[in-house]
Amino acid sequence: MEKPLKPTDSELAILRVLWQRGASTVKEVQKVLEANKRTGYTTVLKFLQIMVEKGLVTRDEASFAHVYQARIPQEQTQRTLVADLMERAFEGSTSRLVLQALATKKATPSELAEIRKILKNHERGIE
């Protein structure tokens, strides 16, 4: 079984851009990242090359400007990261993870409604 991929913080920032924009060139990714933090073109290019090697993104070389796309859906990556955090910091306890998350930042009414819906479905055995 293939080990789930855990991106670094910098790789996660790039993945967020690709999940939001869809397939993008290095220049397009760099422009979005530049809005929050000074980020060079060659830095983004190097990260994307590493991410291709790691299997986090795919690269389409059909045109002059290579186009990159996230290989793994956002939800799957988030689940991998949460599962890792739950094991390392909360000894596998779902309740302790959720309680700390809710204690750390106040949930909006819509988030609370979504949490209630998930809990009801869980109680019914619906995923």
Residues 118-127: tens digit of each pLDDT: 889 988 887 6
Return the domain boundaries, the chain. 1-92, 94-127
Distance CA 53, CA 46 (A): 11
CATH code reported for the domain at 1-92: 1.10.10.10
Angle between helices 74-90 and 9-21 (to 10 degrees): 150
Residue 64: what pLDDT?
85
Q: E-strand spans in the chain?
A: 24-25, 57-60, 67-70
Compare 126 and 9 and report the one with higher pLDDT: 9
Chain centroid, CA 120 distance in Å: 26
Instruction: Look up the pTM and report it.
Output: 0.82
pLDDT tens digits for range 58-111: 999 988 889 999 999 999 999 999 999 999 999 999 889 989 999 999 989 999
